[in-house]
C-alpha cells in the first residue's frame, strides 16, 4: 500500500490554513480522540481510522478515550458526545439528509458528527480529505501526506450527499475498508455494522421469477405467466408475469410480506420484471398499456397494489421496481410514496445521454420520473460487458451523467462495471471518479482525475494524463458511440491502439518502481487485448503476438484477473484458447477457425472466442452474434494444400446458448458459393436449467455437428465465410460455431 508524501513537483494545493489551530507539531500533540461512553460500532471504527491515519500524517498516535475519562484536553469529539449534544450539533446533524456529516470547531475541540452511524464515520473521512489532503484513491493506494506541523482552520462545515444510495459495482470496491473510505454503501459491499452498515435489498432485482416460480406454478397455472405470440411463456429471461391476473397479485402480496418477515434488517424489497423482454400481450394487460401510454403501466399498478399492503403493515419498508428495457417510459399512474423507481441507464457511454442521439429519450425519462416520485435510483452501465478488458473511453461521458443525475432529482446511483474480477479496464480511476461524484456531483472531474493520477501513478502521472486526454479527444467524435456490450474492434481503430501504446510506453519509462510499472501495464493491457483478439486488423504478426501474449499473461497473473467478459470465470479458458492459437497446429489440421483474428468481419454484434459445455465437457467455440439487420460475416483467406493425401473436411458444431427470440440462421460460403445452411429456431435449456450466461455455457439439445467436404478446392486459396443472421430479432442470438477447423483425413 502506498502511504507516501507527495512527490516533488506533484504537490496538491493544501486546503489547510497555515495560521490555523496547531493540532500536532514535531511529533507531539495535546489532542485526544474522544468517543461517547457507549460508542456505536461505527464510532469505534472511526476512532481507529482517525488515530492510524493521523499518526502517519504527524508521527503522533493520539490516544482514544471515552468522554467521561477525557478530562479538559483538546479533542476530536466523535459521534454523539455530550459536548456535541449540548451545543446542539447532534440534533443539527440528525436534520441532514441520509449519511450527512457535520464538522465544527468548538473552542479547542473539533466535533465530528453524522446524521447516522455511517455519517459519524464519514465525518472523519471528510475531515481527512477536505482539510488534511488525504486521498483514498483505491484499495491499493491511500495517499497520506506527512507533515511536521498539522494545523486546522476554524471549521463550520455540514454536508449531505444528494444520493443516499451510492454503489460502484467493481470487484475492488467491495472490501469494507475501501468502500467505507470512498463512502460507498451498496449491497455488494462488505460493509457491516462496524462501518455503519449498508443499503440492503431483497431480492436484488429481476424478482418476478422469485415471486411466481415457473417450476412451482407453470404446469398447473400457465395463465399466471405472460402471453407472447398467443402462448403463455415462463422463465427468468424474456418472460414476464401476467400482471392483471388476480391470483398473481394475491400470491405476490403474500410473498412480499413473507420476504419482509424473513429479512427483518432489509429496508427495501424488490418487485421487478425479469431480465430481457417478453411483456404480457393478453387483452387485459394490453388495455392497461394503452390507457397508461407505457409498458410500465401494468407494472406500476401491480407494484402500487403490493406497496399499499406493505405500507399498511410495514410503513418503514420501501418497495423498489425497475424501469428497464421495454418499461423505461413513465406511465400516467404515479408510484406510491413508498415506491422506489430504479431507472436503468440507456444512453451513449462516450458522450453522456443528455446530448447524444443514442440516449435521446433517457434524459426525458429521468425528468418525467423525477416529477412523479420522490425516490429514483439509477442503474448506470459503464463497462463493455462483452469485453471487460477492451478500451472504453467513457470517463467524460460518465462524469456528465453523474452530474446530470445529481441536479435532476435522483436519490441513488449504482454504476455497474467489472463486478466479477480485479483488473477491469481503468477500474481504479473509474471507481474513484464515480465514488467522488456520487458523494459530491459538484466536483470538477478533471481535478479528480489529476488528483488520482498524481497519487496513483506518481512520477508517471504526466504520461497517464496525456493518455486520458487522448482518450477524451477520441471519444468526443460525434459519430462514435457505445452502449452495453459491443464488438470492441468496431470502436477501436488501429491508430488508437498505436498512439495509446506509444504514450503509455513513455509513461512506463518514467515509472520509478515495479508498483507503478505494473499499474501502467494494466493501462496497456486493453490494447494488448485488442491486438491479440484481432491480430490481422491491428497488423500483428505471429511473432509479435507471442511477445504481446507473454506480457499480457504476466499482467493477468500478477493482478489476479479472472474475467475478460461477463459470466462465469473465463480467464483460464481464454488463456487456454490463446495458448492454442499461438502454438503450432496439429499435423492433421490445415486451418483452425478459432484463430478469429485472422477473419475480416462485418456486421457482427459480437465476434469472439468462447467456451461452451457439450455433453458435460468444455469445448472451444466462436460466438458470432449478428446485428439486428443483415448477415454477420467473418471471412478467412485460407490456402488449401494441393495434395492433401486424402480428403479435406471442414468440421464444426452449431449451437445457441441463450433463449433467442426467434432463432438464428447459420451459413457457410466458399468464394460466394453457399455450401451449408441451417436455421436453429430455439434454444433448448439443459435439464438442470442452468443459466446459459458465462464463459463455459451449458447447452441443450439444439447442438449439432456438421461436416463440409472442401476437397474440390485443394490447391486453391479460398475465401471461406461464416455467416449468421438474426432473422427478425437479434435479442440473445448467442450463435456459436463449435471448434471450427479444416482437417485432412486419409482415404
pLDDT in tens, 618-635: 888 999 999 999 999 999
Predicted confidence at residue 737, as pLDDT, reads 96
Average pLDDT over residues 629-658: 92
Predicted confidence at residue 692, as pLDDT, reads 33
Predicted confidence at residue 747, as pLDDT, reads 61
Three cell numbers, residue 197? 452498515
The pairing of strands 631-639 and 201-202 is unpaired
C-beta of residue 143 within 8 angstroms of C-beta of residue 135: yes
Report whether pLDDT(688) > 50. Answer: no
CATH 2.60.120.1060 in the chain is located at 585-745
More confident: 569 or 100: 100
Report whether pLDDT(694) > 60. Answer: no
CA distance 164 to 486: 32
Average pLDDT over residues 99-123: 97
Predicted confidence at residue 6, as pLDDT, reads 32
DSSP 274-322: PBS-----SHHHHHHHHHHTSTHHHHHHHHHHHHHHHHHH-TT-EEEEE
CA distance 681 to 698: 18
C-beta of residue 649 within 8 angstroms of C-beta of residue 743: yes
Helix, strand and coil content of the chain, in percent to the nearest 5, comes to 35, 25, 40
Starting at the edge strand found earlier in the chain, the sheet holding 75-78 runs: 64-66, 32-35, 75-78, 109-114, 101-106, 156-159
CATH 3.30.379.10 in the chain is located at 21-160
Predicted confidence at residue 696, as pLDDT, reads 35
Predicted confidence at residue 145, as pLDDT, reads 97
Report whether pLDDT(2) > 80. Answer: no
The tens digit of pLDDT for each residue in 9-40 reads 233 333 333 457 999 999 999 999 999 999 99
Quote the percentage of the chain above a pLDDT of 90.
83
C-beta of residue 701 within 8 angstroms of C-beta of residue 685: no
Query: Which stretch of 107-121, 365-379, 399-413, 608-622 has the lowest confidence by average pLDDT?
Result: 608-622
Residue count of the chain: 747
Three cell numbers, residue 352? 453522456
Kindly tell me the sign of the dihedral angle through the C-alpha atoms of 350, 468, 523, 479: positive
Enter the pTM of the model: 0.85
Q: SS in 3 state form for 38-102?
A: CCCHHHHHHHHHHHHHHHHHHCCCCCEEEHHHCCCCCEEEECCCHHHHHCCHHHHHHCCCCCCEE
Average pLDDT over residues 434-463: 98
Report whether pLDDT(690) > 60. Answer: no
Average pLDDT over residues 564-582: 85
In 572-641, where do the E strands start and end? 589-592, 600-602, 604-614, 617-626, 631-639
Report whether pLDDT(701) > 60. Answer: no
Confidence at 686, pLDDT banded by 50, 70, 90? very low
The tens digit of pLDDT for each residue in 40-69 reads 999 999 999 999 999 999 999 999 999 999
CA-closest candidate to residue 339, choices 378, 288, 303: 303
C-beta of residue 345 within 8 angstroms of C-beta of residue 381: yes
Ranges 83-87, 484-488, 614-618, most confident: 83-87
DSSP code, position 594: T
Give the ranges where 476-628 is alpha helix by DSSP (H): 494-510, 514-533, 542-558, 571-582
Q: Phi/psi zone of residue 539: left (φ > 0), alpha (ψ -120 to 50 degrees), beta?
A: left
Three cell numbers, residue 64? 482514544
Confidence at 317, pLDDT banded by 50, 70, 90? very high
Average pLDDT over residues 323-348: 96
Three cell numbers, residue 556? 493477468
Kindly tell me the sign of the dihedral angle through the C-alpha atoms of 188, 731, 430, 528: positive
Predicted confidence at residue 682, as pLDDT, reads 60
Confidence at 452, pLDDT banded by 50, 70, 90? very high
Peptide bond connecting 203 to the previous residue in cis, omega within 30 degrees of 0: yes
Predicted confidence at residue 19, as pLDDT, reads 53
**Cα→Cα distances 310→135, 268, 297, 303, Å:** 42, 11, 20, 10
Quote the percentage of the chain above a pLDDT of 70.
95
Indicate the class that CATH gives domain 21-160. alpha beta
Predicted confidence at residue 698, as pLDDT, reads 38
Query: What CATH architecture is 585-745?
Result: Sandwich (2.60)
C-beta of residue 117 within 8 angstroms of C-beta of residue 196: yes
Contacts of 15 (CB under 8 A, 6+ apart): 130, 131, 133
Predicted confidence at residue 413, as pLDDT, reads 98
Report whether pLDDT(8) > 80. Answer: no
Report whether pLDDT(615) > 60. Answer: yes
Amino acid at each position: 500500500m502506498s502511504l507516501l508524501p507527495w512527490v516533488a513537483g506533484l504537490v496538491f494545493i493544501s486546503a489547510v490554513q497555515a495560521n490555523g489551530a496547531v493540532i500536532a507539531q514535531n511529533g507531539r500533540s495535546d489532542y485526544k480522540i474522544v468517543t461517547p461512553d457507549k460508542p456505536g460500532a461505527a464510532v469505534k471504527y472511526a476512532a481507529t481510522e482517525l488515530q492510524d491515519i493521523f499518526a502517519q500524517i504527524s508521527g503522533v498516535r493520539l490516544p482514544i478515550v471515552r468522554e467521561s475519562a477525557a478530562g479538559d484536553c483538546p479533542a476530536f469529539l466523535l459521534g454523539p458526545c455530550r459536548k456535541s449534544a449540548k451545543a446542539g450539533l447532534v440534533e443539527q446533524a440528525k436534520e441532514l439528509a441520509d449519511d450527512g456529516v457535520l464538522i465544527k470547531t468548538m473552542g479547542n475541540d473539533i466535533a465530528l458528527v453524522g446524521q447516522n452511524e455511517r455519517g459519524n464515520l464519514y465525518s472523519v473521512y471528510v475531515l481527512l480529505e477536505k482539510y488534511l489532503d488525504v486521498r483514498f484513491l483505491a484499495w491499493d493506494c491511500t495517499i497520506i501526506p506527512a507533515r511536521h506541523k498539522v494545523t486546522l482552520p476554524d471549521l463550520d462545515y455540514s454536508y449531505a450527499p444528494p444520493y443516499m444510495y451510492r454503489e460502484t459495482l467493481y470487484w475492488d470496491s467491495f472490501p469494507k475498508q475501501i468502500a467505507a473510505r470512498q463512502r460507498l454503501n451498496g449491497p455488494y459491499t462488505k460493509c457491516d455494522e462496524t462501518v455503519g452498515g449498508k443499503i440492503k435489498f431483497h431480492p436484488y432485482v429481476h424478482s418476478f421469477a422469485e415471486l411466481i416460480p415457473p417450476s412451482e406454478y407453470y404446469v398447473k397455472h400457465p395463465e399466471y405467466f405472460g402471453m407472447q405470440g398467443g402462448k403463455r411463456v415462463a422463465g427468468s429471461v424474456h418472460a414476464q408475469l401476467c400482471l392483471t391476473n388476480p391470483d398473481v397479485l394475491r400470491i405476490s402480496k403474500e410473498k412480499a410480506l413473507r420476504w419482509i418477515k424473513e429479512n427483518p434488517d432489509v429496508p427495501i424489497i424488490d418487485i421487478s420484471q425479469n431480465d430481457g423482454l417478453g411483456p404480457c400481450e393478453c387483452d387485459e394487460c394490453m388495455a392497461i398499456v394503452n390507457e397508461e401510454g407505457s409498458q410500465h403501466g401494468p407494472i406500476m399498478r401491480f407494484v402500487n397494489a403490493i406497496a399499499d399492503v406493505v405500507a399498511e403493515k410495514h410503513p418503514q419498508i420501501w418497495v423498489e421496481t425497475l424501469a428497464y428495457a421495454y418499461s423505461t417510459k413513465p406511465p400516467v399512474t404515479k408510484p406510491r410514496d413508498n415506491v422506489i423507481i430504479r431507472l436503468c441507464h440507456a444512453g451513449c457511454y462516450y458522450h453522456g445521454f443528455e446530448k447524444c442521439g443514442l440516449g435521446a429519450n433517457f434524459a426525458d425519462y429521468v425528468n418525467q420520473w423525477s416529477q412523479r416520485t420522490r425516490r429514483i435510483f439509477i442503474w448506470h452501465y459503464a463497462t463493455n460487458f462483452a469485453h471487460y478488458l477492451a478500451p472504453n473511453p467513457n470517463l467524460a461521458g460518465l462524469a456528465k451523467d453523474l452530474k446530470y443525475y445529481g441536479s435532476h432529482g435522483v436519490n441513488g446511483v449504482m454504476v455497474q462495471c467489472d463486478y466479477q474480477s480485479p483488473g477491469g479496464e481503468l477500474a481504479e480511476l473509474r471507481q474513484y471518479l464515480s465514488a467522488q461524484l456520487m458523494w459530491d456531483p459538484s466536483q470538477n472531474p478533471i481535478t479528480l482525475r489529476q488528483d488520482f493520477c498524481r497519487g496513483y501513478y506518481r512520477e508517471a502521472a504526466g504520461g497517464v494524463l496525456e493518455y486520458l486526454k487522448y482518450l477524451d479527444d477520441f471519444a468526443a467524435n460525434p459519430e462514435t458511440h457505445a452502449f452495453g456490450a459491443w464488438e470492441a474492434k468496431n470502436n477501436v481503430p488501429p491508430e488508437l491502439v498505436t498512439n495509446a501504446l506509444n504514450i503509455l510506453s513513455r509513461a512506463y519509462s518514467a515509472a520509478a518502481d515495479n508498483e507503478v510499472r505494473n499499474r501502467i501495464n494494466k493501462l496497456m493491457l486493453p490494447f494488448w487485448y485488442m491486438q491479440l483478439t484481432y491480430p490481422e486488423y491491428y497488423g500483428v504478426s505471429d511473432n509479435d503476438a507471442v511477445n504481446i501474449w507473454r506480457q499480457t499473461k504476466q499482467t493477468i497473473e500478477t493482478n489476479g484477473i479472472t474475467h475478460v467478459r461477463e459470466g462465469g470465470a473465463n480467464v483460464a479458458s481464454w488463456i487456454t484458447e490463446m495458448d492454442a492459437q499461438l502454438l503450432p497446429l496439429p499435423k492433421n489440421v490445415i486451418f483452425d477457425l478459432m484463430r478469429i483474428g485472422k477473419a475480416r468481419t462485418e456486421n457482427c454484434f459480437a465476434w469472439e472466442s468462447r467456451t461452451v459445455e457439450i455433453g458435460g465437457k468444455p469445448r472451444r467455440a466462436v460466438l458470432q452474434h449478428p446485428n439486428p439487420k443483415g448477415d454477420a460475416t467473418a471471412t478467412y483467406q485460407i490456402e488449401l494444400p494441393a495434395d492433401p493425401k486424402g480428403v479435406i473436411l471442414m468440421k464444426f458444431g452449431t449451437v445457441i446458448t441463450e433463449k433467442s427470440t426467434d432463432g438464428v440462421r447459420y451459413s457457410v460460403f466458399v468464394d460466394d458459393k453457399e455450401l451449408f445452411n441451417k436455421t436453429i429456431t430455439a434454444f433448448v435449456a439443459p435439464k438442470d436449467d442452468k443459466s446459459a450466461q458465462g464463459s463455459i455455457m451449458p447447452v441443450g439439445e439444439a447442438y449439432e455437428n456438421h461436416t463440409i467436404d472442401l476437397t474440390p478446392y485443394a490447391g486453391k486459396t479460398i475465401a471461406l465465410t461464416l455467416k449468421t443472421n438474426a432473422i427478425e430479432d437479434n435479442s440473445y442470438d448467442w450463435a456459436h460455431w463449435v471448434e471450427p477447423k479444416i482437417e485432412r483425413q486419409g482415404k
